[in-house]
Amino acid sequence: MNEPFLNTGFKKKLHTLNPHKKELQIEIQKTKRRTINIKINPDSCQNLVREQLACKVSGTMMGLWLLIPEHLKLGTWDMLKHYSNTQCDNDLEPRFAMQMVHEAALCVQGIRAQRNIAHQGFDILNGLPEIISDNQSHYYLNDKTIHDSQQLQIMLGQLRAASDHFPSKIISIDPHRILTATQRIMPKKKKRPNQPSEKMLQTYFALDPISGQPIASTIGSTGKKTSHATIELLQLIQQIQNDDKLILADAEHFTINIVDYIKNQTTYDFLSPTPVTAKITKLMSGLDYTPQWAGFATAITEYQFKQSKEKYHLLVQRTGEANYQYKPFITSNPDHVLQKLSEYYPLRWSIEEFFNFEGSMGWKRASTLNLNIRYGKQSLALIAQALVSQFREKLPKAYINWTAQSIADKVFSRFDADIKVKKNTIFVTYYGIPEEYGFKNHYSNMPQKLENENIDPRIPWLYDFKVDYIFK
């Protein structure tokens, strides 16, 4: 049969099966109070973003564009592609995650319908023509497992460790409880002894106390035991930093499971305060104390749990000259007793400073207790915290102690700016930024500065455009 006479009608719809043109239905925040569903694919997304960039975009959310160089230095895009299980720069899902990273940097809380961040350059920053809704972000995160979020944290931690963001030989760990508005039936707990019991999300953080930077975090329901959650956190830390470290723990970590795990399955030393039980009180009363300076003395003896064959060391600090006060600690290594008690352990309180400075990024209140969603949001917030930390280093000394909320209010969402494109470069023009911020020195001629640091200035989620900044 001759070829021209073949029936080729079945081929007419083959173009619809092109995976690059497969449309995805998503819910977007069209206005402040209205959501709509649209169909979009990677090609149409790129066309719409380029169309918007061809027009001049104005708004007050342009301060977040100052984070683009920090993204390129940190390697955010590759992490988000891995988290979204894709290797294609044009796919949509990593852009959904990018939006949530920027929302965390903006310290946005509450329901997205009550926020006024649409059509102000925020959507284009994420490589999207629109802002995805709360529901859409939850659909995206619900498809990611806890393991996916843990792998994202490990990648982030390893990159930060390679950049010397965790310079000390000490790690502070601490449980942190977040109020949740979930409607689930669940045990209630007190955040403080003098407060009523409430529904809470349990989080567990590890932090470098010298730099104040978080290393990893885990979460759990209020029914999850501290021992199990802490061991899970330590396993994450081991995949990020598996060299000799001193773990500074809280009294809640004084359990046989935790101390046995640290001693037998890690390379870490640990120091944890102990509850003042009858057994420990008896041990403390029979010790010979070595005076270190006026009003401060130390003593050390062996300690063993009833259910364990492992031997540990009980360190006791005695303060006062007449009315003595005692504080016992347990450790696996008896060396450097004075340094551990007087110099290292006080550093543990830097983790409380972290929550005061960075808590607004997503560690103050939880709207849902779906663990896939919460773990994903918490992991993406850690990326936002890393970006803001790098950005904070560019601020003058007078502003370097600004909290994350202050940076979001006074820089990221305050100043008017507009966007225009010339050839392959996006120019962001800012108006009214005070000269004492020093941004002009740090951000002018940005493509060349990035190239000087051997960093590719092209932005993959913005379709390989470069970005430069103008200050007026």
Number of alpha carbons in the 13 Å side-chain half-sphere of residue 243: 7
Q: So what's the pLDDT on residue 1?
A: 47
Higher pLDDT, 43 or 32: 43
Identity of the residue numbered 76: T
Q: pLDDT tens digits for 158-170?
A: 999 999 999 999 9
Q: So what's the pLDDT on residue 198?
A: 82
Q: Catalogue the long-range contacts made by 262-267 (C-beta closer than 8 Å, 24 or more residues apart).
A: 262/234, 262/332, 263/310, 263/312, 263/332, 264/310, 266/234, 266/238, 266/242, 267/242, 267/243
Mean pLDDT of 116-128: 79
Q: 120 pLDDT band (50/70/90 cuts)?
A: low
Q: So what's the pLDDT on residue 116?
A: 58
Q: Is residue 202 predicted with pLDDT exceeding 80?
A: yes
Averaged confidence pLDDT in the chain: 89
Q: So what's the pLDDT on residue 366?
A: 79
Q: So what's the pLDDT on residue 189?
A: 76
Backbone angles phi, psi at 159, to 5 degrees: -65, -40
Q: So what's the pLDDT on residue 37?
A: 92
Q: 6 pLDDT band (50/70/90 cuts)?
A: low
Sign of CA dihedral 214, 218, 221, 222: negative
Can you give the pTM of this predicted structure?
Answer: 0.92
Q: Are 269 and 247 in contact (CB under 8 A)?
A: yes
Mind giving me the DSSP string for 360-397?
Answer: GGTSSEES---HHHHHHHHHHHHHHHHHHHHHHTTS-G
Q: So what's the pLDDT on residue 313?
A: 95
Q: pLDDT tens digits for 261-283?
A: 999 999 999 999 999 999 999 99
Q: Is residue 45 predicted with pLDDT exceeding 70?
A: yes
Place of tokens 């730099």: 211
Q: Is residue 413 predicted with pLDDT exceeding 50?
A: yes
Higher pLDDT, 117 or 398: 398
Q: Is residue 300 predicted with pLDDT exceeding 60?
A: yes
Tokens (6 digits) for 210: 């010298």
Provide the phi-psi class of 111: left if phi over 0, else alpha when psi is between -120 and 50, else beta. beta
Q: Work out the widest C-alpha separation in the chain, in whole angstroms.
A: 111
Mind giving me the DSSP string for 258-271?
Answer: HHHHHHHHSS-EEE
Task: Compute and round to an integer the Cα radius of gyration of the chain.
Answer: 26
Q: Is residue 94 predicted with pLDDT exceeding 70?
A: yes
Torsion of the alpha carbons at 413, 417, 421 and 424, rounded to the nearest 10:
-50
User: Which residues, at least 6 apart from 308, have a Cβ–Cβ distance to it below 8 Å?
Assistant: 256, 260
Higher pLDDT, 191 or 177: 177
Q: How many CB atoms lie within 10 A of CB 434?
A: 11
Place of tokens 């990018």: 98
Mean pLDDT of 406-419: 91
Place of tokens 């843990």: 150
Tokens (6 digits) for 466: 């470069």
Distances, alpha carbon 233 to alpha carbons 125, 261, 290, 313, in Å: 33, 12, 36, 24
Q: So what's the pLDDT on residue 86?
A: 94
Mean pLDDT of 126-131: 93
Q: So what's the pLDDT on residue 113?
A: 41
**What percentage of the chain reaches a pLDDT higher than 70?**
92
Residue 98's Cα: distance from chain center in Å?
Answer: 13
Q: pLDDT tens digits for 236-255?
A: 999 999 889 999 999 889 99
Mean pLDDT of 152-163: 97
Give me the residues paired with residue 171 across strands.
247
